Amino acid sequence: MSDSIESVLQENRRFPAPSAAAARMAKWLVPSMSDYKRLHARSISDPEGFWGEVAKELHWFKPWSKVLDWKVPDAKWFVGATTNVCYNCVDRQVEQGHGDMVAIVWEGEPIGSGGRPDIRRLTYNDLKRDVSKFANALKALGVKKGDIVTIYMGMVPEVAIAMLACARIGAAHSVIFGGFSTQAIVDRVLDAKSRTIITCDGAYRRGSVVPLKESVDAAVAQLAQAGHEVKNVIVHSRVGNQTAWHSGRDHSFKDLLLASSDQCPCEHMDSEDMLFLLYTSGSTGKPKGILHTTGGYMVHTYLTSKLTFNLIPDDNQLYWCTADVGWVTGHSYILYGILPNRVPTLMYEGAPNAPKEDRFWDMIARHKVTHFYTAPTAIRAFMKWGDEHPKKHDLSSLRVLGSVGEPINPEAWMWYHETIGSSRCPIVDTWWQTETGGHMITPLPGATTTKPGSCTLPFFGVDAAIVDESGNEQPHNTGGLLVVRKPWPGMLRGVYGDRERFIQTYFTRVPGMYFTGDGARRDADGYFWIMGRVDDVINVSGHRLGTMEVESALVSHDAVVEAAVVGMPHEIKGTGIAAFVTLAPGSEPASPADADKLKNALREHVSKEIGAIAKPDQIRFTPALPKTRSGKIMRRLLRAIASGDAKITQDTTTLEDYTVLAKLRESEEA
């Protein structure tokens, strides 16, 4: 289903930004291309003036003495200022008289016996009360400003309360996606030296229960063996799971709220104090803790939320981002960027096909969702499930559609545009990364003419370019490295505990510039077309994985001697995972049935080491891996084989096929 490179290159459809009336928006905040161009030029020539004005729309305890202090690779934004992100998300709305307005609409996955979904609405008053209580509870447990609190929860309102409470008292959070394994918790908790974990007894997912607390218990036990003590585990009871209770260490989320005062002043945070760590995969080693700070991240996510989605308070808007808060999209565009804009944000607990394939469309119709932000992998799944599902529901409330996480193929873009947006809603295809904190290249819905498959033009203040290895800008339609030449407020401030890796990964390949890891080209109109990662990172269903990470997981299995992992085209996931594995002597399967058994065992093993998203789609046993003379695995060749390249499509899953590899290797080396 994914379109070929050729068809993307030939893509010449154009969709001018609709009028505000056509899109059923009250107004466009950036209403034309000339406004975009004027503001973008200003933001690049005078970034300090531009961002200083934006920052004044938010609350600061103490103003900055300087907007930007930049010395590659270190940016300081709003130097000397103090603020609090939780204050700007919650208290400010209460103080301005909007305490009774809905901040978060939440819907649970299970549908009750009466056919009614479980819905909770939290006003800014509710949030202020519960966040303050939970913040006091954290303090009472000894959590202090500067500590790192680990959060491993499902999509429940309590995860938002926990994150905001950390921000309120100046503790950084490290949220771990609930689909990650015990081992992933151990690695992240250890790296962050975190002593408090907030979790749920379990999470509902597609009708079953994910036992989160059990994974935490196992992780804490492993951590103790490694000499790291987790002092507190706070458990929100969601599914009524009976789990082991460690008195003294374990605390009930609900009881903590009941026992705590609802008065908790917001800590005055320096603009450059840490707000959160978020672990993401890189091309080498274990996932790294991407470090984000307070002031710049807050201003960047606030402005991008406002302008990319055209958020306007008191305009009957209901914004829904379908991501999990375990990813940066959930941090920036479920909570931190949206709440300061005073538009209610919808949080959904579960899967898009629970109980049936029309769950999202049913929710859009029932809640009258106006803004919908999802991932291409989900869109491709919806297409496959069939048009009858969206067609059953009234989607006329929709005004703006968003896409994020990976390149969207033109076919999926067109389907989204026509079938979900009735050819009326602009699509914003937002390119950004965990490291960038917020949107970097994106259309503005009232201004930008869109082209299916292109994330279009840089956001304000973003100096993105396509360059060669020495930093020279490439001519139009010539592929190159995507870099950002100037600092932006939401940029990462480091890799936690690893200065060297920060510099090596982002500021070394193209000296003086931030290197994104993506390859891209720009067309004659200056539009960006992302071609994908150029490092050993693969993007599986919009989730980032390092090929090395999956390889180490495979090699840690007794039967495996060596493994090479590459991406391959996948109809739904965009990129799937192919693993080439050499087995230990004596582990070779005796029959095809044995081979299947072993492959399944290896998949389960990877799932245990990393999480289910890392399970290889394809495993091939091979007596050796093709290597260059210098011993480097020939990944390009493996990618060709995994993607079923025409020249080598014979059944490559059997052992004899190694001769094919060997022959290819000889020809490569000749």
Q: Does 301 bind ligand WT7 (CB under 6 A)?
A: no
Binding residue for ligand WT7 (CB under 6 A) from 336, 372, 382, 432? 432
CA-wise closest residue to 490 among 268, 308, 282 = 308
Q: What tokens appear for 584 in the block? A: 């230990």
Under rule CB under 6 A, residue 431 binds ligand WT7 = yes
Residue with tokens 């052992």: 655
Residues 42 and 29: their CA atoms lie apart, in Å, by 17
* Residue nearer to ligand WT7 on the CB measure, 178 or 517: 517
Instruction: Say how far apart CA 441 and CA 437 lie, in whole Å.
Output: 12
Q: Which residues, listed in sequence order, are joined to residue 566 by a DSSP beta bridge? A: 578
CB of 235 or CB of 404, closer to ligand WT7:
404
Spatial separation of the C-alpha atoms in residues 584 and 564, rounded to whole Å: 15
Q: Interface mask (CB under 6 A) for ligand WT7, residues 523-562, using x and -?
A: -------x--x-----x--x-x------------------
Which span (31-39, 166-174, 195-203, 511-519) binds ligand WT7, by CB under 6 A? 511-519
- Site stretch for ligand WT7 (CB under 6 A), options 90-98, 147-155, 310-318, 430-438: 430-438
Minimum distance from residue 537 beta carbon to ligand WT7 (Å) = 8
Three-class DSSP category at 363: helix
- Binding characters for ligand WT7, 258-297, by CB under 6 A (x = yes): ----------------------x-----------------
> 308, 337 in Cβ contact below 8 A?
no
Print the binding letters for residues 444-463 with ligand WT7: x by CB under 6 A, - otherwise: -----------x--------
Rule CB under 6 A: is residue 406 a binding residue for ligand WT7? yes
Q: Does residue 417 belong to the site contacting ligand WT7 (CB under 6 A)? A: no
Note whether 52 and 67 are within 8 A (CB).
Answer: yes
| Spatial distance between the Cα atoms of 560 and 324, rounded to a whole number of angstroms | 33
* DSSP at 25: -
Q: How far is CA 359 from the centre of its chain?
A: 22
The three-state secondary structure class of 621 is strand
3-state helix, strand, coil in the chain (%, to 5): 35, 25, 40
At residue 616, the 3 state secondary structure works out as coil
Beta strands 514-522 and 528-533 are antiparallel
- Determine, following the binding rule CB under 6 A, whether residue 518 of this chain makes contact with ligand WT7: yes
DSSP-assigned letters across all residues of 447-512: TPPB-TT--BSBPTT--EEEE-TTSPBPPTT--EEEEE-S--TT---EETT-HHHHHHHHHTTTTT
Q: Which of 517, 574, 611, 616 binds ligand WT7 (CB under 6 A)?
A: 517
- Binding of residue 405 to ligand WT7 (CB under 6 A): yes
- Say if CB 491 and CB 437 are below 8 A apart: yes
Phi-psi map region of 39: left, alpha, beta (phi>0 left; psi -120 to 50 alpha)? alpha
| Contact between 213 and 201 (Cβ < 8 Å) | yes
CB nearer ligand WT7, residue 231 or residue 286: 286
433/653 with CB nearer ligand WT7: 433
Based on the shown chain and the rule CB under 6 A, indicate whether residue 434 belongs to the binding site for ligand WT7: yes
Q: x/- string (CB under 6 A) for ligand WT7, residues 462-501?
A: ----------------------------------------
Q: Tokens representing 408?
A: 């969207």
Least Å from the CB of residue 526 to ligand WT7? 16
**Of 108 and 517, which has the nearer Cβ to ligand WT7?**
517
Q: Is 306 a binder of ligand WT7 (CB under 6 A)?
A: no
DSSP state of 643: T
Please, what is the minimum distance in Å from the beta carbon of residue 416 to ligand WT7?
Answer: 13
- Under the criterion CB under 6 A, does residue 404 sit at the interface with ligand WT7? yes
Contact segment (CB under 6 A) with ligand WT7 among 254-262, 312-320, 326-334, 466-474 equals: 326-334
Q: In this complex, which beta carbon is closest to ligand WT7, that of residue 182 or of residue 377?
A: 377
For residue 73, what are its two tokens?
A: 């690779």
In the three-class reduction of DSSP (H, G, I as helix; E, B as strand; rest coil), residue 190 is classed as helix
CA dihedral 22, 23, 28, 30 (to 10 degrees): -100
Nearest distance from residue 523's CB to ligand WT7, in Å? Answer: 15
Task: Find the shortest distance in angstroms from Cβ 1 to ligand WT7.
Answer: 17
| Residue 345 within binding range of ligand WT7, rule CB under 6 A | no
Q: Applying CB under 6 A, which part among 5-13, 180-188, 516-524, 653-661 lies near ligand WT7?
A: 516-524
Assigned token pair, 171: 């503790």
Segment interacting with ligand WT7, rule: CB under 6 A, options 111-119, 321-329, 379-387, 595-603: 321-329
CA distances from 8 to 417, 576, 639 (A): 17, 20, 21
515 binds ligand WT7 (CB under 6 A): no
Is residue 430 near ligand WT7 by the rule CB under 6 A?
yes
* Binding interface with ligand WT7 (CB under 6 A): 280, 327-329, 404-407, 429-434, 455, 516-518, 530, 533, 539, 542, 544
